[in-house]
Amino acid sequence: MINLKQVTIHKFKCIESDQAFDVDPDVTVLVGMNESGKTSILQALAKTRYFTKDASFRFNTTHDFPRKEKKRMDKSGIVPKAVTCTYGIDDVLLSQISEEIGPDVFTSTDIVQHVKYDNTTVWTPPTVNIDTFIT
Range of the domain at 18: 2-134
Percent of the chain, pLDDT > 90?
56
Mean pLDDT, residues 98-123? 91
DSSP string computed for 3-45: EEEEEEE-SBTTB-S-EEEE--SS-------TTSSHHHHHHHH
- DSSP-assigned beta bridge partners for residue 19: 9
Mean pLDDT, residues 13-17? 92
Domains in the chain, number: 1
48-84 tens-digit pLDDT: 976 567 777 899 999 999 999 999 999 999 999 999 9
Domain CATH number, residue 112? 3.40.50
pTM recorded for the entire structure: 0.86
Residue 135 in this model has a pLDDT that exceeds 80 = no
- DSSP-assigned beta bridge partners for residue 70: none
Q: What is the pLDDT of residue 27?
A: 75
25-52 tens-digit pLDDT: 887 788 888 888 889 999 999 999 765 6
Mean pLDDT, residues 100-119? 90
